[in-house]
Amino acid sequence: MSVDHVQELEGAGEGETVTMAASDLRSYAVAPGVRLNVRSGPGTGYGIVRVLPEGARVTIFCQRPGTTVAGPYGTSNIWDNIDDGEYVADAYVNTGSDGYVRPRCS
């Protein structure tokens, strides 16, 4: 069984949405040896909602700019939306890119 994730993309027409099949999504490894804070918004000023354990992998639904953070994979202001109201700093996620790898969150 497949689960679809629906989101509105920045720049799309009003009310226009894009549906991504679960097969379009992939998981990314969190930096080795890191217990990563998951925050309620795209920045260090947002509250911590949970902590990912060492060896965790995350699925990124969309990304948005926020607080600049330095981590094992560079310094970046990109934050990854990994669930409804849950964000992690991209500098701690091995996406293989210094830029956006998913659509921007609306």
- Residue 106's pLDDT is what? 87
| DSSP assigned state of 13 | P
pTM score: 0.79
String of b and e for 15-34 (b: at least 16 CB within 10 Å)?
A: eeeeebeeeeeeebebeeeb
- Residue 25's pLDDT is what? 87
The number of angstroms, rounded, from the C-alpha of 56 to the middle of its chain's C-alpha atoms is: 13
Rounded to a whole number of angstroms, the CA Rg of the chain reads: 14
- Residue 1 pLDDT grade (very low, low, confident, very high; cuts 50, 70, 90): very low
